[in-house]
Amino acid sequence: MPEPKTVLLFPGQGSQRVGMGADLCKASEKARKVYDKADELLGFPISKLSFEGPEEELKKTINTQPAILVHSAACLEMLGDSDLSAGGAAGHSLGEYTALIAAGALSFEDALLLVRKRGELMYKSGERRAGTMAALLGATLEQAGELCEGASGAGAVVPANINSPGQIVVSGDTAAVGKVVEVAGRFPGVKAIPLVVSGAFHSPLMEEPAAEFAEHVRNVEVREARFPVVANVSGAPVTWAEEIREALIKQLTAAVRWEDSMRWFLSHEYGPFIEIGPGKVLTGMMRRIDRKAAALATDTLEGLEKVLSRAPQPQK
């Protein structure tokens, strides 16, 4: 049989919305069990927060990260009803944890508790040292680097998410990011948009939480991945337990090399790409990376049903 080439993609912070997962739980006992297990593990109803809000609480990093992981895991469980065979996976920032669940490298329980701790440490770091992020639309990586270097007198600022052609996010000290936003227009066609975040993720400002988080990652069982998971920090596949651990630890301070990650799959003739979780952000990025690549989203029950209808059904 030919090797499976379907790639599962998992979204990260920013894709959350009040109401996510409610339709899945109404339709599927498997999805309900995922949410029930998450409520039990976390010790509070992440299900209620996801389904009903309030939005301000859901938007807090400490809550957003586990909420998105649980939604993606519920979708993944529902896709288990088909013979959809994955050949690879990737997740944007926190989404990498769900990709590792899909590949069998992390258990749902361990991934959820790691992500909750990750969100907590990142949130507290933002309280200790104010940082922020901004999206640069229409900029090249070279232009983003030049803007960051020019603003470095106001503090630390670096390219943090290299998402797709013309979409780069910078991260760092509030004053330095503000300077980047102020002068970005000197490059024709470049527009800077400040992002509402609680910290300077994927930047040197995350070094303190990354050091503490490393101990939690090292205490969790990590298994060899069943298929390649392309890591954010390198844009290259990881399968062995120790390289997975190191990629997760480095991820907090390193840039998310999303475009490189997708181009690795494309260069090795993988596809189609299925985005599993809330929103359609990654599907949109894929269209900017390669318009010919087949990409589907499962952000609602309707989207999930479309994917299931295209997948082979299991033999009875």
* 202 has catalytic annotation: yes
Residue 123 in contact with residue 149, Cβ under 8 Å? no
Residue 72 in contact with residue 98, Cβ under 8 Å? yes
Catalytic residue among 93, 164, 171, 261: 93
* 268 has catalytic annotation: no
Catalytic residue among 28, 71, 202, 203: 202
Alpha-carbon gap, residue 304 to 275, rounded angstroms: 10
Peptide bond into 54 cis (omega under 30): yes
Determine phi and psi for 30, rounding to 5 degrees: -60, -45
Residue 24 in contact with residue 162, Cβ under 8 Å? no
Torsion of CA 238, 239, 240, 241, to 10 degrees: 90
Q: Which residues carry out catalysis?
A: 93, 202
